[in-house]
Amino acid sequence: MTGLAATTMSLEPSARIEFGVGAIARLPECLDELGADRVFLVTDVGLRAAGVVDRVVGLLESSGRAVTVHDAITPNPGTATLDAATAAVRSACSAGTAAGCAVVALGGGSVLDAAKGIALLGTNSATARDLAAGTAMRPGLLVVAVPTTAGTGAETNGFGVIEDERAHRKLYVGDASVRPRVCVLDPELTVGLPRAATAATGIDALVHGIESLASRGANPVSVAYAAEAVRLVSGSLAAAVADGADLEARAQLLLGSHLAGRALSISGLGLVHGIAHATTSHTGAVHGVALAAVLTEVMERTAAVAGPAYARVA
Ligand SMILES: NC(=O)c1ccc[n+]([C@@H]2O[C@H](COP(=O)([O-])OP(=O)(O)OC[C@H]3O[C@@H](n4cnc5c(N)ncnc54)[C@H](O)[C@@H]3O)[C@@H](O)[C@H]2O)c1
């Protein structure tokens, strides 16, 4: 057999997706459906300064929920950043049943990734280093993702990219149980993202689409997601950088980033990400900038084998 008849696929059902300008208003209803009456909100100081944290906390508190805010996530989080949240998440989620407590990740990829590890630390007597070592774990707390960059697509999978500060390398930390059960994709929440960060995170989404198309792990479903992701991101990134308040561009970028995340969760990524993770671990470079630094050269050197995939994005 050849072609599609020779292809096998095993795809997990996706999370509930709430997309649209103002979609954040539906967060309480999503938490009701999950039975979560308490929230451990994971975020960072940049989101607080942008006013996004106060807005979401207000929404959650007016729905009658107890909210504990942990805003100490640093860019490119490491194992120490996860460990620093352990006592707080265990204390916030220990009353009643852990099932009634949700970790809401409000931020960019750094926050979303850290939140997955924190959700596991909330239910396991372990350290972040144990998680990184792949020790068997009990299922983590429920995770709800609200991405504010577009982006990493980190809301689509249960694994976070966490730095091992001692070894200067990035590790994948996570588990299927902490894959976000709900993703709220609200373009309005990305409007305050500064121009340079909009460009860097948009390049990340574009590279996800390109590397997913070229991956040996691609299948017809990942290709469909990746092709549409590349179309949306390449058509909107310049406009979003030029005018951060352009909601149409922000919407296209956010959906494109999400679809690229779904694509990479199926296919895996490639050499551009491999080199960029190592670069960031050694230099602290912004993820999207590290990707942009090597994208052209990797494409040139792999054109002989990945040419058909690259032709799709030309
Ligand atoms: N799990 C995955 O699938 C995956 C994929 C790609 C990258 N990553 C990881 O994601 C991380 C990078 O995430 P990122 O690029 O989204 O950046 P980030 O989360 O590090 O955020 C960068 C900065 O932007 C600020 N910010 C975010 N949203 C904002 C908003 N709406 N308004 C104002 N400021 C805002 C933050 O406060 C922060 O200072 C890296 O650690 C990378 O390894 C994970």
- Name the residue with the closest Cα to ligand 1, atom 28: 148
> pLDDT value at position 135?
82
36 and 156 housed in the same domain: yes
Say how far apart CA 145 and CA 155 lie, in whole Å: 6
Last residue of one domain, picked from the residues 139, 159, 190 = 190
Instruction: Please state the φ and ψ torsions of residue 279, each to the nearest 5 degrees.
Output: -60, -45
Q: How close is the Cα of 177 to the center of ligand 1, in Å?
A: 22
Residue 90: inside a domain, yes or no? yes
Q: Is the CB of 123 under 6 A from ligand 1?
A: no
Q: Which helix (H) or strand (E) holds 234?
A: helix 220-242
User: If you take atom 38 of ligand 1, which residue's CA is the nearest one?
Assistant: 46
Which of 42, 74, 81, 149 should be mutated for ligand 1, with most atoms under 8 A from CB? 149
Do 210 and 105 have their domain in common? no
Q: Is residue 5 part of a domain?
A: no
What is the structure's pLDDT at 98?
62
pLDDT of the residue at 97: 62
- Total number of domains constituting the chain: 2
Confidence tier at 199 by pLDDT (50, 70, 90): very high
More confident residue, 217 or 2: 217
User: Domain check: are 217 and 245 in the same one?
Assistant: yes
Tokens of 61: 């508190």
- What is the reported pLDDT for 176? 92
- Span from the CA of 107 to the centroid of ligand 1 (angstroms): 7
Asked whether residue 174 falls in the same domain as residue 91, the answer is yes
Residue at a domain's end among 151, 174, 190: 190
Q: Are residues 28 and 124 in the same domain?
A: yes
Cβ(46) to ligand 1 under 6 A? yes
Domain identity same for 139 and 218:
no
Q: Give the CATH number of the domain where residue 139 resides.
A: 3.40.50.1970
pLDDT at 132: 85
At 55 the pLDDT is 97
Rg over alpha carbons for the chain, rounded to the nearest Å, is 19
State the pLDDT confidence band at 194, using cuts at 50, 70 and 90. very high
Is there a single domain that holds both residue 22 and residue 143?
A: yes
pLDDT over threshold 80, residue 133:
yes
**Domain presence at residue 2:** no
Q: Average pLDDT for residues 132-153, to the nearest whole number? A: 92
Is the domain of 253 the same as that of 147?
no
Report, as an integer, the average pLDDT of 61-82: 95
Q: Which pLDDT band holds residue 234 (cuts at 50, 70, 90)?
A: very high
Top-confidence residue, 12 or 268? 268
- The answer on 231 and 131 residing in a single domain is no
Mean pLDDT, range 117-136, rounded to an integer: 90
- Calculate how far, in angstroms, residue 108's C-alpha sits from the geometric centre of ligand 1: 3
Q: What is the pLDDT of residue 164?
A: 85
Q: pLDDT tens digits for 269-296?
A: 999 999 998 998 889 899 999 999 999 9
Kind and range of the H or E run holding 164: strand 159-164
Cα 30 to the center of its chain, rounded Å:
19
Mean pLDDT of 163-185: 90
CA distances in angstroms from 39 to 90, 145, 182, 213, listed in the order given: 12, 12, 14, 37
pLDDT band at 96 (very low <50, low <70, confident <90, very high): low
Residues 217 and 179 in one domain: no
Ligand 1 atom with the smallest distance to the CA of 156 is 3
- CA 112 – CA 258 distance, rounded (Å): 13
Q: Is residue 11 part of a domain?
A: no
Residue 216 burial by Cβ neighbours in a 10 Å radius (0-12, 13-18, 19+)? exposed
Does pLDDT of 13 surpass 80? no
The residue segments making up the domain with residue 76 are 16-190
Give the pLDDT confidence score for residue 169 in this predicted structure.
Answer: 80
pLDDT mean across residues, the chain: 94
Q: Is residue 274 part of a domain?
A: yes
Look at 98 and 130; give whichever has higher pLDDT: 130
Query: 173 with 238, same domain?
Result: no
Please compute the mean of the pLDDT values over residues 11-23 and round it to a whole number: 92
Nearest to 213, CA basis, from 288, 277, 256, 267: 267
Kindly state whether residues 40 and 156 are assigned to the same domain: yes
Is any ligand 1 atom within 6 A of the Cβ of residue 145?
A: no
- 86 Cα to the center of ligand 1, angstroms: 21
Mean pLDDT of 236-251: 98
> How far is ligand 1, taken at its centre, from the CA of residue 28, in Å?
24
Return the pLDDT at 168: 79
Mutate which of 79, 161, 191, 289 for ligand 1? The one with the most ligand atoms within 8 Å of its CB, which is 161
For the chain, give the percent of residues with pLDDT over 90: 83
Residue 70: which of 126, 1, 21, 117 has the closest Cα? 117
Q: Residue 109 Cα, ligand 1 centroid: separation in angstroms?
A: 4
Q: What CATH code is carried by the domain that includes residue 245?
A: 1.20.1090.10
